[in-house]
Chains A and B, each alone.
Chain A
Amino acid sequence: MKKEGKIQVWQDYQKEIADDHYFYVRSCIRQNFFPGSEQTFLKILRKELNKDIYENPHHTSCSGIGYHSDIVPFDTIQTIIARQFALMTEAGYKNLAVSCITSFGIYNEIIETWKEFPDELEKVRTFLKKATGREFEIPQNVAHASDIVYKFRNKISSIGKNRLINQKTGQPLKIVEHIGCHYSKMFPCKGVGGAEFPYVLAGMIESWGGEVIDYPERRHCCGFGFRQYLIMSNRGYSVSNSRKKFESMEPYHPDAIVSNCPGCPMFLDRWQYVIQEMENKTYGPNGQGIPVLTYEELAGLVLGYNPWDMGMQMHQTNVEPLLDKMEIEYNPDLKYTRKDGKMIGKPMMVGCGW
């Protein structure tokens, strides 16, 4: 593998990422899957990077999951997106920061639709006006939240307390990155590094001292794929997709997986547990799994945040092997306690690698 070839591709796919003053739109499912990640992102931007980021409590789901499941019609989702933009316009913001990859794809798809078909834009303006009385401007800049972390990766590195280094061996941690299909496969030019050799997460990993693992099934879907999971009878298909990725990355002995998308860390995390239960197979050393992190969690670890404050006890594949390699201090007794010391309850089903 020739790094210089990748560098050439990365240079071809650079995007403009706004420097400050973001209007933040959240993900629906991340609140349940990894609830600390979005809070960590806001903390990093506000407290570490002194950026202005605003969220309006009246903003809603983008309805992307419904759209991709053929439940929400295109006119409807366009109008929902127009309403989000109206809230942004009313708050005086022009830079959209999107938490979710599915939403990021939706926002880009609809903005591009309006560029190609101005009649659609006028139709949606009319719909929104009639339904809510609101008007909107199209954002000047649309960035995924990971784009923003990528933009400030070197700053995070410079103020960070930890590096992505195996402290026992001194070697860079080997990290698999997974960008999520809707980040740049729909519009390669909208993603840092494009679709085939994306750099958004790889750039963070490199900046923070780790080594990026490229493996044959890197481009493959995490297993979410909407219908693969949303329709219960298809879930075996979802697991088999994730399994394909684990089998492919296993020979490289990754220390962690970092993911971009709300769905991907969920499936790459949970299905390791399921595969262990089904086949008694784990993909890390000594019966452990491969810890799966969101990029906010990874940034938080670099910045020295307490893993339990970031909600990392919600992972079903235990993160402790990674924390141990990085020699990050944590108290196992506090894993399932609240700030006031009360127990939040242990999961009934044990996680992968216990």
Chain B
Amino acid sequence: MHNHVEMHGHASLQKKNLYMKHIVIIGSGIAGIETASALTDAGHWVTVIEKEVHVGGKLNNWTYLFPDFTPAEEITKPLFSKFREKDFSFLPNTEIKTVIRNNNKFSIETSGNQQLEADAIVLATGYELFDARRKEEYGYKIYDHVITSFDLEQLFKPEGKLTVAFGKHPKRIAFVHCVGSRDEKSGNHYCSKVCCITGVKQAIELKKRIPEAEIFCFYIDLRMYDKHFEELYRQAQEKYDIQFIRGRLSEASENIDKSLLIKAEDTLSGRPLKMNVDMLVLLVGMEAGEGTTTVARTCGVSCEESGFLKTQDSFLKSNFSDQEGIFLAGSCFAPMSVHDTILHARSAAQEVNDWLKNNN
């Protein structure tokens, strides 16, 4: 029997589902909560499993979002409202131990020894930030004033302090793009997609806070792929006087005064370049992370060479894993922005709902 209620986009999912199914979602970041919310609205019983205590995932750590400097709170607040208001189950501090397929259902055992039976599973395990210590030549966690884009975002919070040695504001700051992305050495050949625009956004934010600072961005090429990105990049140069240098850093060293000596090649002028900066910001890329790899192994879902999860078809079935009944939502599939993650999560809900109608 099929559900004959017509489904046209997210709003239609809110119509009462005559055939309530149980869906287990793994991960409670924006993708997990958005998917859970939409499927609950569609009338399904949803359980969200989260290995951490809180919902929200990585977005909890962000201060402003590109390209328009929207405070991250403006996204997390509605997300938390959905979490509070929607009627779905939430299992914090929980991981999945085993997943066994029984005919059309999945038997799931959790780390808390709960036994769940699900009609479908959605993997929304998100991503991990590249551990910048692996790019040893930049001295992250060794030199005092080498930080990551994640660390800088914490410094933008009200309690953060944008200071370097002797409590002074940094006068000269360099950003390094593609740290852990498009990089043979770290084994990540793919583009993390959002770091370029993150760098532009953070450079502007720094300039707003420390107008006298000189800011340099070292890039391979700048991938301003989405709406308003290119305009922001232009603004960074014209309005904020941020210097973009095409070249990748070869190494950083610490000077006796804790400033940093950086070396690069300016590939446009074809000359080696050496400069001292007070702060070095590493724009770290996204990785699938151990959490996603473990969940994939448990569920029998395949990973791409990059570690991100494999889909049946990247055009028409980007929410479908290669295991029937197991779906993907958000950045466990590929690096993506908050905006794209929300869209991908909503489409996951739609696909799950359609699949349940057609396969049960």
Contact = CB atoms under 8 A, between A and B. Distances in A.
Given A216-B253, A216-B254, A252-B256, A9 B261 contact: no
A219 interface: yes
B136 A9 contact: yes
B257 to A, nearest CB: 9
Interface of B: 133, 136-137, 139-144, 251, 253-256, 261
A197 B253 CA distance: 11
A178 to B, nearest CB: 14
Interface of A: 1-2, 4-6, 8-9, 194-197, 214-219, 251-252
A49 B133 CA distance: 37
Contacts of B139: 5, 196
Contacts of B137: 196
A2 B144 contact: yes
Interface centre among A4, A5, A215, A219, by most chain B C-beta atoms within 10 angstroms, is A5
A184 to B, nearest CB: 11
B133 A5 contact: yes
A216 B256 CA distance: 8
Contacts of B143: 1-2
B137 to A, nearest CB: 5
A2 B142 contact: yes
B136 A1 contact: no
A215 B256 CA distance: 7
A216 B261 contact: yes
Contacts of A218: 253
Contacts of A9: 133, 136, 142
10 A-B pairs closest in CB distance: A5-B142, A196-B136, A5-B141, A216-B253, A216-B261, A251-B256, A196-B137, A216-B255, A2-B142, A1-B254
A8 B132 CA distance: 13
A128 to B, nearest CB: 34
B142 to A, nearest CB: 4
Contacts of B256: 215, 251-252
27 contacts: A1-B144, A1-B254, A2-B141, A2-B143, A2-B144, A4-B141, A5-B133, A5-B141, A5-B142, A8-B133, A8-B141, A9-B136, A194-B136, A195-B136, A196-B136, A196-B137, A197-B136, A214-B253, A215-B253, A215-B256, A216-B253, A216-B254, A216-B261, A217-B253, A217-B261, A219-B251, A252-B256
Main secondary structure of the interface of A (DSSP, over half): loop
Contacts of B255: 216
Interface centre among B142, B144, B251, by most chain A C-beta atoms within 10 angstroms, is B142
Nearest to B135: A196
A116 B261 CA distance: 37
Interface centre among B136, B139, B255, B261, by most chain A C-beta atoms within 10 angstroms, is B136
A6 B143 CA distance: 10
A197 B252 CA distance: 12
Nearest to A252: B256
A5 B143 CA distance: 8
A129 B143 CA distance: 53
A5 to B, nearest CB: 4
Contact of A214 (B133, B136, B140, B254): B254
A296 B340 CA distance: 60
Contacts of A5: 133, 139-142
A7 to B, nearest CB: 10
Contacts of A214: 253-254
A144 B143 CA distance: 29
Contacts of B251: 196, 219
A218 B263 CA distance: 13
Contacts of A196: 136-137, 139, 251
Contacts of B142: 1-2, 5-6, 9, 197
Given A196-B251, A219-B253, 18 more contacts: A1-B142, A1-B254, A2-B141, A2-B142, A2-B144, A5-B140, A5-B142, A6-B142, A8-B133, A9-B133, A196-B136, A196-B139, A197-B142, A214-B253, A214-B254, A216-B253, A216-B261, A218-B253
B274 to A, nearest CB: 10
Nearest to B142: A5
B324 to A, nearest CB: 40
Nearest to B134: A12
A218 B256 CA distance: 13
Nearest to B255: A216
B250 to A, nearest CB: 9
B76 to A, nearest CB: 32
A252 B257 CA distance: 11
Contacts of A197: 136, 142
A162 B234 CA distance: 63
A177 B255 CA distance: 16
A226 B253 CA distance: 25
A235 to B, nearest CB: 21
A9 B141 CA distance: 10
Contacts of B140: 5
A218 B136 CA distance: 14
